[in-house]
Amino acid sequence: MKIAGKKISLTTQIFLAMILGAILGLIIGEPMTKLGFIGNIWLNCIKMIVVPMVIVTIITGITSQKDVKSLGRISARIMSYYILTTLVACAVGLAVALLIKPGTMANFTGLASKEITGSADITIADFFMGMFSSNMFKTFSDGNILQTLIISVLVGIAILRMKNEAFKETVINGFNALSEMVFSLIGMVMIVSPIGVFFLMAESFGKYGAGIFTSMATLAGTYYLACLAHIVLIYGGVLWFTSGINPIRFLKDSAELWIYTISTCSSVASIPVNMKVAKEKFDVPESISSFTVPLGSQMNYDGSVILYGCVIVFISQVVGVPINIGVMLKVIFLSAILSTGGGGIPGSGIVKLLVMVEAFGLPTEIVGIIAAFYRLFDMGTTTLNCLGDLAGTVFVSKMEEKFAGKNKAKVTGA
């Protein structure tokens, strides 16, 4: 697309499509929901390549490492980052909600709840059992991303351990070629992304109208404020102290990613965009981002746990139940465990939110109301989850640069 001889970037096209779709959805209303299938077709075109993309990116990311030792170092750093930021995220959600007290300002008059379907029985044992596939082909056909990720990690390590160097090189080159093909296909789909984004946004705003802004305003406002606080204080703080990247630069340079996630609400579909931003804006090698970003899409859920904390406080304030330190600690640890469970469950975000509310003996009717407007919250959860993946990837990349610099200094000094 060109205006006055200048080519408009894809990021700008997506942003304009998002705004235009929202405006037309509000003006035209219900008829726009009948065209939502166009956006869903586009999203399906991305989702159809997610499994092959995870396989090739994880395997090429692992095989590009010098050895299993460097892989272990990167894995330890990124997993420590993901676990710690997830725990902090829930604490941020609780703190902001306790400070603002959104439940005391809530008004549910005229709001209808939505029936929540799906199993709420998600245990730690089920989660770990669900990580490992008994049939990799069934895993791929079911689109189970967590199991696909584990299979890819095992295959990647197996390739690194191959004794025959000629065979190893052949296998690595084969996966590199597949990776090139997969991302070429993704590039084709991304060209029409403004069209898909336009119809997705038009459908959402045509369905909910202005109510998407007003009906859940107190909770949504609190939630998005908590998300912003987490981005600036936690992600921004980590990157500033370790990499010299301030929060404003991080938000500015990651614009292509968060515009995309707000409009699609899909973490896995955002993987290629996340890797592109990491490489082009933060100089992260693909050998790192191709491992850390897909991994984060399955185990880093900062946006989700912030929502858990906000909702628990919100419902407690609505019904007049006080929250003490013990309850807050329980919320933090339970949400961290629960956030990484339930892979493959349709609508798992709202189901896991229901599990959290039930675990503290709070009324679940309000969760039904939240479910009816979940798209409004899902834009925030997906965006924060993906920004967390990006921040962690940049953090690990800078740590690897420092590690390589120290080793080089030792060798030079020797």
Residue 110 is predicted with a pLDDT of: 47
Q: Are the beta carbons of 93 and 306 closer than 8 angstroms?
A: yes
Six-digit token pair at 144? 């189970």
Residue 310 is predicted with a pLDDT of: 92
DSSP per residue over 341-398, as a string? Answer: --TT-TTHHHHHHHHHHHHTT--SHHHHHHHHTHHHHHHHHHHHHHHHHHHHHHHHHH
pLDDT in tens, the chain (414 residues): 555 555 776 667 877 887 898 888 888 888 888 888 888 888 788 778 778 887 887 888 788 776 677 778 888 899 899 989 999 999 999 999 999 988 887 655 544 445 444 444 555 676 677 778 889 999 888 877 778 888 988 998 899 888 899 999 999 999 989 988 988 887 888 788 888 878 887 887 787 666 555 557 788 899 999 999 999 999 999 999 988 899 999 999 999 899 888 877 778 778 888 999 999 999 999 888 888 998 888 778 898 899 999 999 998 888 788 888 888 888 888 787 767 654 434 445 666 777 788 777 787 777 766 766 777 788 888 899 999 999 999 999 999 888 877 766 665 655
- Fold of the domain built from segment(s) 9-409: Proton glutamate symport protein (1.10.3860)
Q: How far apart are CA 83 and CA 88, in angstroms?
A: 9
Please enumerate in sequence order all residues whose Cβ is within 8 A of that of 92, keeping only pairs 6 or more positions apart, or say none. 226, 229, 230, 233, 234, 306, 309
DSSP H stretches of helix in 235-364: 236-243, 247-253, 255-264, 271-282, 286-299, 302-319, 325-339, 348-359
Residue 113 is predicted with a pLDDT of: 46
Q: What is the pTM of this model?
A: 0.72
Domain assignments of the chain as residue spans, ordered by start: 9-409
